[in-house]
Amino acid sequence: MWNSTPAGGPERVVALADGVFAIAITLLVLDFSVTRGLGTGAYHEELRQLLPNLGAYALSLVVLGVFWRDHRRIFRFVERVDGQVITLSLLGLGFAALVPFPTTLISEYGHEPASVAIYAAAVASLGAAHLALVALLAARPWLRGDAVPEEGFLVYGLDLAASVVVFSLSIPLALAIGPVAMWGWLVLVPVKVVLGRWANASRRPHDLIRPPGG
């Protein structure tokens, strides 16, 4: 195990993460533009050509928003950081800052399997950094005190791992069958629903036990 020397509170890491995610989301829209002086037909054509950009923007906005929320939740359990927590956080933030690049690839070259594979690799890497951070905190109670996820580290870790697995599997699928592999990302919806129900059950293990006269 790495040496763990507490290095202060998590406030600066959280503030840095907020800034990185905000900038990454802003960068998603910088390529949006419509040429001046167009006639009606050309204007509508340019709007039509922006549709893939808008779709890619919506996808990445959801991805970054979910991972920002997860990062904030992870750091609710952190009382002190050490070198490894800082390193894994910076690694994850590096992948978050990278997301606008593969977003441009799938909006401009979504028909290319490599674009989908690169996007999936970026998202899977971001998820893996968060998963590693949660595993580290689970193993180092001196960094979090008594704070733990309400559903426990196992269920919370599985929720993060689901995204890593789905996006990782889509990398070879995209290279083998093409961009249609993106539709496989939708499997996360029912998986997250099931894990969410499991998490809720884990939070309220005694809900079905009513007190006498209740």
Instruction: List the chain pLDDT tens, one digit each, 214 residues.
Output: 456 666 778 899 999 999 999 999 999 988 777 777 777 788 788 788 788 888 899 999 999 999 999 999 999 888 889 889 999 999 999 999 999 999 999 989 988 999 999 999 999 999 999 999 999 988 888 888 777 777 778 888 888 999 999 999 999 999 999 999 999 999 998 988 888 887 777 665 444 444 444 4
| Cβ 170 vs Cβ 114: under 8 Å | no
Q: What is the pLDDT of residue 167?
A: 96
Q: Locate tokens 């050509």: which residue?
A: 49
Residues 6+ apart with CB under 8 A from 65: 25
| C-alpha to C-alpha distances, 119 to 17, 94, 114, 160, 180, nearest whole angstrom | 21, 14, 9, 17, 13
Q: Residue ranges of the domains in the chain?
A: 11-203
Q: What is the pLDDT of residue 9?
A: 83
CB < 8 Å & 24+ apart, contacts of 131-134: 131/157, 131/160, 131/161, 131/164, 132/88, 133/74, 133/85, 133/88, 133/89, 133/92, 134/74, 134/160
Q: What is the pLDDT of residue 3?
A: 66
Return the axis-axis angle of helices 113-139 and 40-74, rounded to nearest 10°: 20
Q: What is the pLDDT of residue 201?
A: 78
Q: What's the CA gap between 9 and 203, in Å, rounded? A: 27
pLDDT per residue over 87-144, tens digit each?
999 999 999 999 999 999 998 998 899 999 999 999 999 999 999 999 998 888 888 8
Q: What's the CA gap between 114 and 172, in Å, rounded? A: 10
How many other CB atoms are found less than 10 A from the CB of residue 121? 18
In 124-142, which positions are buried (b, 16+ CB within 10 angstroms) versus exposed (e)?
Answer: bbbbbbbbbbbebbbebee
